[in-house]
């Protein structure tokens, strides 16, 4: 890599270390789940309810090794000491028997009523250092007793998708399992500097997709929309190119993840200083349009926009950290246009997620208040290299 790249990476590393140093003590109960949420999901041609369970977990290895990704603040919701197998299984049991549900819904909750289960751990469920393989195996073994769950979605960095981690599940469970992996950007400098992903070689991702298919899993790619240091237009083009790359590699589904402002992230740091704006919802529409333009309108693909589902939080108050009003894993701000058109655009994105029909986005009329601002934003050009932008932005800050 060039000296410029090395200097930029050094600056991002250093800034992230300072930001993470501001996170308050993370003294969570290891036996209580971080969150349970119900939302609508599109599956086999129709919208159905899915249950999302966020396990209170040890946390992403990437934080421990390299301060994590620049847009992510999952660190805030994870524990200071490793969560043991026994605690993971207690958490899971409290979901299965409904005792983790708060309020009146506790009596009627039955996880078996939700055909889609998202089982997240704010990191990689397939990393044995984060979730012991025994815990993973026991949880998947128990899914055999919940036959109305048709598909389980988990998350992992590509490097932990190994024959061992997949076989560990396949030894006990043969149902449909989808593994979501952060691809973020197909562009090396964007991925390594702007996202701070630490996945320098895309071969790692490509191999993970192949391996998942070999073991009968489905592969989902997360594509971050608008990392730090890109212009609005560059971010649109980058998300389109990255999604196309993933589809060409045989991915089963793509989830575009518009950047939200999460406390104690580099994005939050830049946003507070007027150096970052969340992606416009008009840009989300362009990303969808760009992808369909490339693959053809008539092609059926599993393309989602992450974070835009009607949600009903059933449990989460256990996760409130001292001094924080909302559950620590909720973002401070999500992507948006202006107050005038946000409600209808958000509804249109949710409708897209329910129907996979891009026309619900294309048919949205321009907004008299903000559309011209967005046009101005997408005409901004930055001729500097990505490393240079980072050096200019972070180099002079203490």
Contact residues for ligand SF4 (CB under 6 A)?
60, 62-63, 68-69, 72, 74, 123, 157, 182
Interacting span for Zn ion (CB under 5 A) from 129-137, 141-149, 195-203, 366-374: 366-374
Residue 163 C-beta: closest distance to Zn ion, Å: 50
CB neighbours of 66 closer than 8 A, spacing ≥ 6? 13, 196, 198
Residue 50 binds which of Zn ion, ligand SF4, none (CB < 5-8 A, kind-dependent):
none
Torsion-angle region of 358 (φ positive above 0: left; ψ -120 to 50: alpha; else: beta): alpha
When the beta carbons of 34 and 72 are compared against ligand SF4, the nearer one is 72
**DSSP codes of every residue in 326-394:** S-TTS-SB-----TTTHHHHHHHHHHHHHH--THHHHTPPPPTTTHHHHHHHHT----S-HHHHHHHHH
Residue 297 C-beta: closest distance to Zn ion, Å: 26
Residue 182 binds which of ligand SF4, Zn ion, none (CB < 5-8 A, kind-dependent):
ligand SF4
When the beta carbons of 58 and 94 are compared against ligand SF4, the nearer one is 58
Closest CA to 271 of 281, 261, 257, 284: 261
When the beta carbons of 68 and 132 are compared against ligand SF4, the nearer one is 68
State the Cα–Cα distance between residues 254 and 73, nearest whole angstrom: 22
DSSP 194: I
When the beta carbons of 208 and 341 are compared against ligand SF4, the nearer one is 208
Residue 247 C-beta: closest distance to ligand SF4, Å: 21
Residue 54 pairs in a beta bridge with 35, 120
Residue 69 binds which of Zn ion, ligand SF4, none (CB < 5-8 A, kind-dependent):
ligand SF4
Please check whether residue 50 is in contact with residue 38, taking contact to mean a CB–CB distance below 8 angstroms. Answer: yes
Residue 295 C-beta: closest distance to ligand SF4, Å: 26
222 phi/psi in degrees, rounded to 5: -90, 130
Please check whether residue 73 is in contact with residue 268, taking contact to mean a CB–CB distance below 8 angstroms. Answer: yes
346 touches Zn ion by CB under 5 A: no
Residue 60 binds which of Zn ion, ligand SF4, none (CB < 5-8 A, kind-dependent):
ligand SF4
Interface residues for Zn ion in 284-343 (CB under 5 A)? 337-338, 340-341
What angle is formed at CA 359 by the lines to CA 355 and CA 362, rounded to 5 degrees? 135
Residue 225 binds which of Zn ion, ligand SF4, none (CB < 5-8 A, kind-dependent):
none
CB neighbours of 344 closer than 8 A, spacing ≥ 6? 364
DSSP 146: -
When the beta carbons of 172 and 346 are compared against Zn ion, the nearer one is 346
180 phi/psi in degrees, rounded to 5: -85, 130
Three-state SS for 20?
Answer: helix
Residue 332 binds which of ligand SF4, Zn ion, none (CB < 5-8 A, kind-dependent):
none
Return the residue of 33, 69, 117, 370 that touches Zn ion, per CB under 5 A: 370
Helices (H), 81-162: 85-96, 133-143
39, two tokens = 């939302």
When the beta carbons of 72 and 117 are compared against ligand SF4, the nearer one is 72
174 touches Zn ion by CB under 5 A: no
When the beta carbons of 123 and 258 are compared against ligand SF4, the nearer one is 123
366 touches Zn ion by CB under 5 A: no
Residue 88 binds which of Zn ion, ligand SF4, none (CB < 5-8 A, kind-dependent):
none
Residue 64 C-beta: closest distance to ligand SF4, Å: 10
Residue 28 C-beta: closest distance to ligand SF4, Å: 16
When the beta carbons of 266 and 386 are compared against ligand SF4, the nearer one is 266
Note the residues at the interface with Zn ion (CB under 5 A).
337-338, 340-341, 367, 369-370
């Amino acid at each position: 890599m060039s000296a410029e790249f090395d200097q930029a990476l050094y600056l991002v590393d250093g800034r992230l270390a300072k930001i993470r140093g501001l996170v308050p003590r993370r003294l969570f109960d290891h036996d209580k789940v971080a969150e349970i949420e119900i939302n609508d999901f599109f599956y086999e041609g129709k919208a159905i309810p899915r249950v999302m369970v966020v396990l209170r977990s040890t946390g992403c290895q990437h934080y421990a090794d390299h301060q994590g990704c620049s847009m992510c603040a999952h660190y805030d919701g994870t524990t200071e000491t490793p969560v043991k197998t026994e605690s993971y299984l207690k958490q899971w049991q409290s979901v299965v028997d409904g005792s983790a549900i708060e309020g009146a819904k506790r009596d009627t909750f039955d996880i078996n009523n939700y055909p889609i289960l998202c089982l997240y751990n704010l990191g990689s469920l397939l990393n044995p250092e984060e979730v012991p393989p025994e815990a993973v195996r026991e949880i998947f073994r128990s899914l055999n007793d919940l036959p109305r769950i048709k598909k389980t979605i988990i998350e992992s960095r590509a490097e932990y998708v190994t024959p061992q981690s997949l076989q560990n599940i396949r030894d006990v469970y043969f149902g449909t399992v989808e593994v979501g992996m952060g691809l973020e950007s197909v562009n090396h400098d964007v991925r390594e500097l702007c996202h701070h992903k630490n996945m320098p070689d895309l071969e790692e991702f490509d191999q993970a997709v192949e391996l998942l298919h070999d073991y009968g899993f489905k592969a989902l790619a997360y594509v971050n929309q608008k990392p730090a240091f890109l212009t609005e237009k560059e971010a649109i083009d980058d998300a389109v190119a990255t999604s196309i790359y993933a589809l060409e590699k045989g991915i089963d589904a793509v989830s575009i993840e518009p950047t939200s402002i999460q406390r104690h992230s580099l994005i939050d740091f830049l946003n507070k200083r007027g150096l970052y704006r969340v992606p416009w919802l008009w840009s989300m529409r362009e990303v969808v349009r760009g992808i369909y333009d490339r693959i053809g309108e008539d092609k059926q693909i599993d393309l989602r926009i992450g974070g835009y589902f009607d949600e009903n939080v059933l449990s989460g108050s256990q996760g409130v950290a001292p001094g924080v009003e909302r559950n620590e894993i909720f973002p401070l701000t999500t992507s948006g246009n202006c107050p005038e058109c946000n409600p209808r655009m958000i509804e249109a994105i949710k409708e897209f997620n329910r129907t996979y029909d891009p026309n619900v986005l294309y048919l949205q009329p321009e907004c008299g208040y903000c559309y011209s601002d967005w046009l101005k934003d997408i005409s901004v050009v930055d001729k500097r290299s990505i490393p240079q932008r980072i050096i200019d932005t972070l180099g002079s800050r203490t």
